[in-house]
Amino acid sequence: MGQYLAFDLGAESGRAISGTLHNGTLAIEELHRFPNEPLRTDEALCWDIERLWGEIRRGIHIAHERGFHPDGIGIDTWGVDYGLLDASGKLIENPRHYRDGRNNGMMEAVFARVSREDVFAATGIQFMQFNTLYQLYAASLETPKTLARAHRLLNIPDLFNYWLTGEARSEATIASTTQFFNPVTMNWATGLLTRLGLPGQILCPVVMPGTALGKTLALPHTSVYATAGHDTASAVAAAPADGGPDWCYISSGTWSLMGLELDRPVIGSQTLALNFTNEVGVAGKIRLLKNIAGLWLLQECRRAWMAEGIAYSYEQLARMAADARPHSAVIDPDAFLEPGDMPRKIDDYCRRTGQEPPATHSEYARAILECLALRYRQVLESLETLGGRKIAVIHIVGGGSRNAVLNQFVADATGRHVVAGPSEATAIGNILVQAMGAGELVGLDQLRAVVRRSFAPVPVDPRSDPQAAADWERAYERYRAVVSG
């Protein structure tokens, strides 16, 4: 019986979740939950990394208070962000938040020195202004003295692993989000950094998911595993697919990450034109995917309404969306990257595109969920083109899989069978990759068999109403016209 402790840190909150693997089934329990709120100053938007580190230590303490003595600990987080260590191993400054404004314009500044085509050929990664490459280039321009002090660069889960063990290593799934990692060679694209005048010598040796890093400094009998450190990689590993190539996944949360699991990267002109990404998965797999803004828009609307004194739960918002007028407005979810007054931003977008803005909070919620489903359909069509296969099943995992209204919209908009859950896929994948590292499981097939035995998914089929299907078709044509225009 293996016992493992997973720390899953997302953009809104973090959790410590225990997992016990016994006779081929997994039982999990949430031990500790904590908010993840950035620090905002006049100069920067940063992560409160010391507080998060304190919450991790608190989670370990709670586990032991409850008599849970893990054989392993693993940490997964969001991608791209990083910390810099000086020669003594001390963190130089709080890591910047990927939504920090200093990233604006950095892609264009990089392309002035290295072409977009060359960057993609070396990395196979989707172009987004917050990728680590552009953050690091921004640092070289804005705070060159700080960067010059750096002895090591560690992405966020690797930073916590370093504090737990003293071992500075870069786990491959999180490294692959940086846009200076080559998924073909499975190593750093240091030539790209050299061309940009960035310090490749600060990068750490790369290790694969499931690698045992060593014992914790505080708990000499507990191993720390470099699990799939990118939360999406952990979530995809726990998708309960049962073989065959006809499925895709959506890791649904603040971000939606939609893609295929492949044996090798797809790096070519078509992938570049469609702006897809090749990130590393578990067991040598490649995650060919697209980053989509996800439930971020709904979260930001909820935050804005809360500031006005109206506090909705996410369950309320889903019910409101279900009852609202359908297809009132279409929006591009990827047009809203920066925080702040999301309802006003949606209003401005609608007016710019010749539409009436939503009239009620319910219509905002419905428009967001509908347009996520329409965006998924658009990405699905591109995945079928790039993967050369017809997709019959969409596995939706992660916290967003609890949104039954969105799941139904996805089935209706795409005409595909949807399998929702597990909602805790990220923590489950984290735990089971640790178990792979410990030798309890061998390969993704065994891992996913444990998931299917342990957690009941929710099947969702498209509604059989011909009028509703026709309405979705018209909405999709309208969506494509607005987005392309």
Active-site residue list? 231
Give the pairing type, strands 72-76 and 2-9.
parallel
Give the pairing type, strands 13-22 and 2-9.
antiparallel
DSSP string, 446-482: HHHHHHHHHS--EEE-----HHHHHHHHHHHHHHHHH
CA–chain centroid gap for 120, Å, is 20
Distances (CA, A) of 175 to 81, 155, 188, 313, 468: 10, 7, 8, 35, 43
Give the pairing type, strands 393-397 and 417-420.
parallel
Distances (CA, A) of 476 to 330, 416, 433, 472: 9, 15, 38, 6
Q: Where are the alpha helices (DSSP H) in 388-423?
A: 404-414
Q: Is the C-alpha dihedral spanning 300, 306, 308, 311 positive or negative?
A: positive
Per-residue DSSP letter, 151 = S
Least Cα distance to 51 among 68, 70, 40, 35 occurs for 35
